[in-house]
Structure 1
Amino acid sequence: MMVPNGYSDVPAGKVAAVVTHLEMTARPARRPDPAGAWSLRRVEMPPLDWFRNLYRRVGEEWLWFSRIPMPDAELAARLHSPQLEVYALIDDGHDEGLLELDFREPGQCEIGMFGVTAKLVGTGAGRWLMNRALDIAWSRPIERLWLHTCTFDHPAALPFYQRSGFRAFRRQIEIADDPRLDGTAPRDVAQHVPVIE
């Protein structure tokens, strides 16, 4: 359905975001790694509690909520698929970044999750993690790497992805139940998105 020009009401109890899909069809020139003592660890068969905890710490302030209420069986089927790889960025011995690479579609890779905790925002860890993501994804026989971001994400996310070599190809509007109203997310997160009941 196409949204008409002008204003469209979003019902109380809902949130709305503009989602931008981005892709690259060839490996870009590698950007320099920032200075930092980070490392990357592949997490085989990620435990669901571990994943949800890191997912919250990385994304809760940006209203990442889709994986929190997902039934365990559905989340496990996704995370434990042999074509899906989950990585943690390690900072000072702690998991502080999340990378999910989805190779389930032949010839493609989707960056399903990407981000670092608030502790590392602005340190260069995101650039370091993206360099690893590009290295891993383009070491496989793919023709396309893609992801999406939205207006709930950190304001620097979209330009960061574009500087990384992605180009926008699709825009959508996503409307969902506000996760702060049913306890999926704490009431006080994402102050940049007001709660309207």
Structure 2
Amino acid sequence: MMVVKRSLTYIFIYLQVKKLERWLRKMKKVQRYFLDYEFSKNDKVIKIENQNSFKIILNNKKNYEINKFFYKQIGKDHFWRDRLIWTDKQWMKYSSNPLLDTWILEDNNNDLIGYYEIEKHENKEFELINMGILSEYRSKGYGSSLLTHVLKQSFDNKAEKVWVHTCSLDHKFALANYISRGFKVFKKEQIDFVA
């Protein structure tokens, strides 16, 4: 009987070690970047190029299903998981925050292309919480136009700073897009991530 218990214990330990090994193989090192854009008195009105083929509109009805849809559709390619467990009530509470604006990028046929969420903080700082383009519209310049819109709206609303964080799991051009628009990296860190 003792031998059987010991054997079962060894089998259990062996299986747990194998499970841990599989988990560790899925773990990746992810680089996270914190960036900000500080407006100066010399900044000029920002213009959005090629806006004939699309429009960027405010989700002024605070329809939480828009936020939920984009988060799931865009996020599935980039491991956005934090909000996947949210109930509709949590989504409603989040999207109805009076300090949060959700902007929607549509083509001229009203097909959804992308979005961004931006939250106003004290001290005239705005946080770009999420921004993304649906997969079928990527690599067509929409991300650049959307980020330019972020800066234009922030400038028009008297922001002194816009900040964001991105990571190596986001779109391959995300970091370059931020830097090309004048964002500066102020912090970098490496984190462990289980895919």
Shorter-normalised TM range: 0.7 to 0.9
Structure 1 window deviating more from structure 2 (25-34 vs 135-144): it is: 25-34
For residues 56 and 123 of structure 1, what CA distance do their matches in structure 2 show? 21
Structure 1 residue 94 corresponds to structure 2 residue 111: yes
- Hey, what does 2:162 align to over in structure 1? 145
Deviation at 1:12?
5.7
Output aligned runs, 1:76-87, within 5 Å: 76-87=92-103
For residues 53 and 32 of structure 1, what CA distance do their matches in structure 2 show? 25
Deviation at 1:164?
0.8
Identity %: 19
Question: What CA RMSD, in Å, does the superposition of the two structures yield over aligned residues?
Answer: 2.4
- Hey, what does 2:11 align to over in structure 1? none
SS of the residue 1:103 aligns to: strand
Output aligned runs, 1:24-173, within 5 Å: 24-26=37-39, 30=46, 33-34=49-50, 37-91=53-107, 92-173=109-190
Structure with greater helix percent: 2
Asked whether the equivalents of residues 74 and 135 of structure 2 are also in contact (C-alpha less than 8 Å), the reply is: yes
| TM-score of the two chains, using structure 2 as the length reference | 0.75
Structure 2 unmatched runs, 5+: 1-22
Structure 1 residue 23 corresponds to structure 2 residue 66: no
1:98-146 deviation line (CA, Å, top 9, x unaligned) = 1111103331001111111112111111111112111101112322111
Deviation at 1:56?
2.0
Which residue identity does 2:56 align to in structure 1?
L
Asked whether the equivalents of residues 21 and 149 of structure 1 are also in contact (C-alpha less than 8 Å), the reply is: yes
Asked whether the equivalents of residues 67 and 102 of structure 2 are also in contact (C-alpha less than 8 Å), the reply is: no
Figure out how many residues of one structure are paired with residues of the other and give that number: 169
Which residue identity does 1:53 align to in structure 2?
F
- The change in CA–CA distance for 1:141 and 1:35 in structure 2 (over 3 A counts) is closer
For residues 68 and 118 of structure 1, what CA distance do their matches in structure 2 show? 19
- Hey, what does 1:7 align to over in structure 2? none
For residues 63 and 158 of structure 1, what CA distance do their matches in structure 2 show? 16
1:69-117 deviation line (CA, Å, top 9, x unaligned) = 2344443332211111001100231121011111033310011111111
For residues 180 and 147 of structure 2, what CA distance do their matches in structure 1 show? 11
**Which structure has the larger Rg?**
2
| TM-score of the two chains, using structure 1 as the length reference | 0.75
Deviation at 1:35?
6.2
For residues 25 and 86 of structure 2, what CA distance do their matches in structure 1 show? 23
For residues 74 and 106 of structure 1, what CA distance do their matches in structure 2 show? 27
